């Protein structure tokens, strides 16, 4: 039996409301689990810049015991209040949204990896990175030592770099090349650490690491990302050095 247009419209409207309600309910039910998943992934990447994580490690417990955090502005001043007037939580800063802002208007999280024997001593400062690779966004964390001079570890990730080429920025073999490299020259000028073209390069300086064959543009993206963010934290480290001297 053919239904009237009114019946079809009413049925469609009811189904729209029912399906919309179910989707909304599902979203609310899954939201806590999704939040925990995002938190776990972020904290895994942060810790991954300074330590080798094993399958089965209690990431959240390790993070709670070893990491302290804060956020600063481009001038190195601590930011204690978020946009809504609440307490600033460095882990909640959206690096992507910040990347879209002018560097002077961004919020810069700082994650401090504390010594396991002396909870007042900082073993490393872990800094978020964000930039553009060959095909899409790249991001990661760079950890510098307590003297703010030497890279002690990095963790990189990407959205769409080429497998076997630019995607290798995630590989431990590539990331380990950064360990021990220095970010300042002898006169105190920020040099960052640059990935050079090709692999197996002889006589690399203390500011250079081997590149990735066939992934020169991804390497340039990593270099730009590292230099931009290390530069943005320079005022913060200058303040720390002044405080230490005093």
Q: Read off the pLDDT of residues 56-73 as tens digits, 9 standing for 90 and up.
A: 889 999 999 999 999 999
In a domain, 181, yes or no: yes
In a domain, 236, yes or no: yes
Q: Which of 101, 100, 113 is nearest to 43 (CA)?
A: 113
Beta strands in the chain (DSSP E): 67-72, 108-114, 122-132, 137-145, 151-158, 194-195, 208-209
169 CB-side CA count, 13 A: 32
In a domain, 24, yes or no: no
Residue 37: band (very low, low, confident or very high) from pLDDT cuts 50, 70, 90: confident
**Which residues span the domain enclosing 84?**
46-245
In a domain, 210, yes or no: yes
> How far is Cα 138 from Cα 129, in angstroms, rounded to an integer?
8
Long-range Cβ pairs for the range 79-88 (8 Å, 24+): 79/107
> How far is Cα 215 from Cα 156, in angstroms, rounded to an integer?
15
In a domain, 4, yes or no: no
Number of domains into which the chain is organized: 1
In a domain, 5, yes or no: no
In a domain, 106, yes or no: yes
Indicate the pTM of the whole model: 0.84
In a domain, 29, yes or no: no
Q: Read off the pLDDT of residues 131-143 as tens digits, 9 standing for 90 and up.
A: 999 999 999 999 9
């Amino acid at each position: 039996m053919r239904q009237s247009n009114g019946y079809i419209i009413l049925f469609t409207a009811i189904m729209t409301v029912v399906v919309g309600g179910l989707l909304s309910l599902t979203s609310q039910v899954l939201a806590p689990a999704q939040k925990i998943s995002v938190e776990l992934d972020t904290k895994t990447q942060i810790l991954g810049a300074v330590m080798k994580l094993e399958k089965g490690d209690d990431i959240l417990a390790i993070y709670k015991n070893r990491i302290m955090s804060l956020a600063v502005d481009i001038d190195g001043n601590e930011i204690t209040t978020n946009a809504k007037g609440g307490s600033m939580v460095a882990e909640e800063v959206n690096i992507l949204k910040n990347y879209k802002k002018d560097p002077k208007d961004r919020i810069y999280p700082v994650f401090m990896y504390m010594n396991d024997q002396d909870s007042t001593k900082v073993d490393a400062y872990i800094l978020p990175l964000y930039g553009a690779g060959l095909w899409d966004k790249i991001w990661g964390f760079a950890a510098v030592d307590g003297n703010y001079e030497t890279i002690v570890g990095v963790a990189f990730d990407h959205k769409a770099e080429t497998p076997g080429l630019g995607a290798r920025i995630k590989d431990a073999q590539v990331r380990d090349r950064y360990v021990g490299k220095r970010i300042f020259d002898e006169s105190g000028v920020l040099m960052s650490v640059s990935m050079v073209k090709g692999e197996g390069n002889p006589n690399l300086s203390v500011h250079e690491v081997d590149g990735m064959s066939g992934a020169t543009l991804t390497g340039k993206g990593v270099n730009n990302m590292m230099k931009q963010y290390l530069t943005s934290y320079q005022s913060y480290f200058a303040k720390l050095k002044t405080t230490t001297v005093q």
